[in-house]
């Protein structure tokens, strides 16, 4: 009955713990769902008859406590869970004491840890007040902060931590959750191996044998934001990981959304806000979409009609304009609204926003149906080249490093094709790293400008990718990061997006920003795969985001939102 393994260690469990989570464990059937193969395996502890379990606690963590008392879990599992919990307390206490010394704020709004212990798993940074909740119980157990400091880093450390785990409600639940996780991870040792770990060394034919499917259809919009998804075909990144990909050119973002919900294709190029909106059922049926990795950061611009070249100097001058955006649930819309509001322009009252494809934006800019457009490349450069408009502001000036587009897949597809999904995500992460290097941009521009992809003049695509471009006002600019490529899906991106969904009444006001981000953004897996590729991704999931007019602190998204509304009136 006991869950045993002779093939595990503290180090390996940390690695596993960052890949698997309690979300993948289903005790309601006495089974454990494997995130690699998507199937349920026996947890080796459920009796054949269900009646015995009928009166057991329904809460998973409470159930774990009863199972420990019943002797279901081996001492190895319990001891390892205890060690993990104590190590978490050590790191948390170091931060807690440091903050207590240097922070003067009574509310102790903790700064985001920029350099945590590299071995600490993601969930230790998920909650803005997790450190406080963990450590206050230690302080209470010790009888004060000074006593806690002395005991935590002295001879009484083991006793203090053990007592805190026993008596502190929050720490106790942390420990019990770890027992369940460790047990599941040990059970999954034989099937947890990353089947794509050696995908850079095998031949394409060998790789194909390891995948659930190797022929994929991926939908994309023909814009420069899709660079990693597009370039990975002609430059061989898909083939490198055993994949044969057919790229399917989509007509608009609504078509992308509908195809994803219907499961028509395998994966999709989406705007970063779309997986959140679709998963929440905003503007469409609710369907679980996962954001696997970010395709590009920055990359958009606002272009105004040439007739306004002597009039538009700031957001305030856009009042009364008809402005085109590509999709309601898009970064284009949210960044535009942010920019307008900061200039005193109410985007719901003082301008008219219309949804158009980027290609149609250029046509309607030419015939005077719109005054400006907030869109991706190369269509801003198309308007400049045809002397139809001028670039008023780059999106990188509104929010440097903002997420733009992403690789997205449906949750059911991931469960059916976990190894293929990892291979695909690796190809995109690898491609992003290649595209991030300036010397490769001209080559990439040539590759993706082709008729089957963007079908645009190479010179215009190159202008966007290299950041050397004309603005339509007689100026030449060199902005290296006009578009850039960083695949890491910061969860603070998600937090900001959902605050703006709230701000503009695109979703209900009662929002759990953390839960939504955890559900949609596969940050831990993206980090894991990047490390497999020899990259050095961030070790935290949140960061403070510096925008043009303010700083977003993801530890307090509601205060940020209310501050925006109070300052601008909307």
User: Residue 409 in 3-state DSSP?
Assistant: strand
Per the structure, the complete domain to which residue 333 belongs is given by 301-398
Neighbour-count burial for 58-87, b at 16+ CB within 10 Å, e otherwise: eeebebbbebbeeebbbebbbebbbebbbb
Kindly tell me if the per-residue pLDDT of 399 is higher than 70.
yes
Q: How far apart are CA 408 and CA 368, in angstroms?
A: 35
Instruction: Please indicate, yes or no, if residue 222 is contained in any of the structural domains.
Output: yes
The continuous run of DSSP H or E covering 433 comes out as: helix 418-435
Give per-residue pLDDT as tens, 25-75.
333 333 344 444 444 444 433 333 344 344 445 555 566 666 666 566 666
In whole angstroms, give the CA distance from residue 155 to residue 538: 34
Does residue 524 sit in the same domain as residue 385? no
Q: Based on the structure, what is the number of domains in the chain? A: 3
- 354 and 263 inside one domain: no
157 and 257, same structural domain?
no
Q: Are residues 338 and 476 in the same domain?
A: no
- Residue 449 counted as domain residue: yes
Last residue within a domain, chosen from 398, 423, 451: 398
450 and 511 together in one domain:
yes
Provide the greatest CA pair distance for the chain.
Answer: 79
Residue 124 DSSP label = G
Residue 97: is its pLDDT beyond 50? Answer: yes
How confident is the model over 422-436, as pLDDT tens digits?
Answer: 999 999 999 999 999
User: With contact defined as beta carbons under 8 Å apart, do 237 and 231 qualify?
Assistant: yes
| Amino acid 82: pLDDT | 77
Question: Do 244 and 351 fall into the same domain?
Answer: no
Identify the pLDDT of residue 62. Answer: 63
Query: What is the percentage of the chain residues whose pLDDT exceeds 70?
Result: 74
Q: Residue 268: beta bridge partners?
A: 219, 408
* DSSP-based three-state secondary structure for 290: strand
Indicate whether 210 and 295 sit together in one domain: yes
CA 222 to CA 308: how far, in whole Å? Answer: 28
Query: Cα–Cα distance between 17 and 80 in angstroms, integer?
Result: 12
Segment (H or E) for 464: helix 458-466
Residue 488 in tokens = 């890491």
**CA 226 vs CA 113, 162, 229, 231, 256: distances in Å:** 32, 52, 6, 8, 13
Q: Return the structure tokens found at 493.
A: 């991106």
Residue 25: per-residue pLDDT: 38
Check residue 115 and give its pLDDT.
32
Task: Choose the final residue of a domain: 187, 218, 237.
Answer: 187
Domain identity same for 14 and 90: yes
Calculate what percentage of the chain has a pLDDT beyond 90. 63
Lowest-confidence segment of 123-137, 367-381, 388-402 by average pLDDT: 123-137
Residue ranges of the alpha helices (H) in 103-226? 130-142, 145-152, 157-167, 169-187, 204-210
Last residue of a domain, one of 398, 414, 441: 398
Q: CA-CA distance, 492 to 90, in Å (whole number)?
A: 25
Q: Do residues 10 and 84 make contact, with C-beta atoms less than 8 angstroms apart?
A: yes
Given pLDDT bands bounded at 50, 70 and 90, which one contains residue 189? Answer: very low
Q: Which residues pair with 551 in a beta bridge?
A: 546
């Amino acid at each position: 009955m006991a869950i045993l393994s002779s093939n595990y260690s503290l180090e390996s469990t940390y690695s596993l713990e960052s890949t698997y989570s309690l979300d993948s464990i289903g005790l309601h059937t006495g089974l454990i769902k494997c995130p690699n193969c998507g199937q349920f395996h026996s947890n080796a502890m459920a009796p054949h008859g269900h009646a015995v379990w009928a009166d057991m606690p329904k809460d998973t963590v409470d159930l774990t406590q009863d199972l420990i008392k019943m002797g279901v879990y081996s001492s190895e599992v319990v001891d390892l869970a205890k060690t993990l919990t104590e190590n978490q307390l050590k790191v948390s206490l170091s931060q807690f004491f440091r903050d207590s010394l240097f922070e003067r704020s009574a509310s102790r709004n903790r700064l985001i840890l920029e350099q945590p212990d590299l071995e600490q798993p993601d969930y230790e940074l998920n909650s803005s007040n997790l450190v406080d909740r963990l450590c206050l119980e230690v302080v209470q157990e010790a009888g004060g902060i000074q006593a806690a400091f002395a005991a935590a880093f002295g001879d009484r450390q083991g006793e203090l931590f053990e007592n805190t785990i026993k008596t502190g409600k929050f720490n106790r639940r942390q420990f019990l959750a770890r027992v369940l996780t460790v047990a599941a991870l040990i059970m999954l040792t034989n099937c947890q191996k990353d089947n794509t770990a050696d995908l850079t060394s095998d031949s394409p034919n060998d790789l194909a044998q390891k995948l659930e499917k190797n022929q994929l259809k991926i939908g994309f919009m023909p814009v420069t934001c899709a660079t990693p998804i597009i370039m990975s075909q002609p430059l061989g990144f898909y083939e490198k990981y055993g994949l044969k990909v057919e790229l399917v050119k989509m007509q608009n973002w609504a078509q992308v959304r509908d195809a994803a919900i219907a499961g028509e294709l395998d994966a999709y190029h989406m705007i970063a806000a779309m997986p959140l909106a679709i998963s929440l059922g905003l503007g469409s049926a609710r369907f679980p979409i996962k954001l696997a990795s970010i395709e590009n950061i920055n990359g958009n611009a606002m272009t105004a009609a040439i007739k306004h070249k002597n009039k538009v100097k700031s957001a305030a001058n856009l009042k009364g304009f008809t402005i085109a955006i590509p999709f309601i649930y898009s970064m284009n819309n949210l960044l535009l609204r942010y920019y307008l509001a900061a200039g005193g322009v109410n985007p719901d009252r003082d301008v008219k926003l219309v949804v158009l494809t980027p290609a149609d934006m250029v046509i309607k800019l030419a015939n005077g149906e719109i005054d400006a457009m907030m869109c991706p490349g190369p269509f801003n450069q198309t308007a400049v080249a045809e002397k139809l408009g001028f670039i008023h502001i780059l999106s990188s000036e509104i929010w440097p490093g903002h997420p733009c587009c992403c690789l997205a897949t449906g949750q059911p597809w991931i469960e059916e094709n976990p190894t293929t999904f990892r291979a695909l995500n690796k190809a995109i992460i690898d491609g992003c790293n290649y595209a991030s290097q300036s010397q490769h941009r001209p080559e990439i521009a040539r590759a993706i400008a082709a008729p089957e992809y963007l079908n645009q003049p190479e010179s215009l695509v190159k202008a966007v990718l290299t950041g050397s471009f004309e603005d339509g006002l007689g100026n030449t600019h060199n902005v290296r990061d006009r578009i850039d490529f960083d695949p890491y899906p910061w969860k603070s991106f998600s937090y900001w997006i959902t605050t703006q969904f709230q701000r503009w009444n695109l979703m209900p006001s009662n929002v759990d920003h953390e839960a939504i981000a955890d559900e949609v953004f596969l940050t831990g897996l993206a980090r894991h795969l990047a490390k497999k590729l020899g990259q050095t991704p961030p070790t935290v999931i949140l960061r403070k985001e510096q925008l043009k007019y303010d700083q977003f602190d993801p530890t307090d998204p509601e205060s940020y939102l209310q501050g925006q509304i109070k300052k601008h009136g909307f």
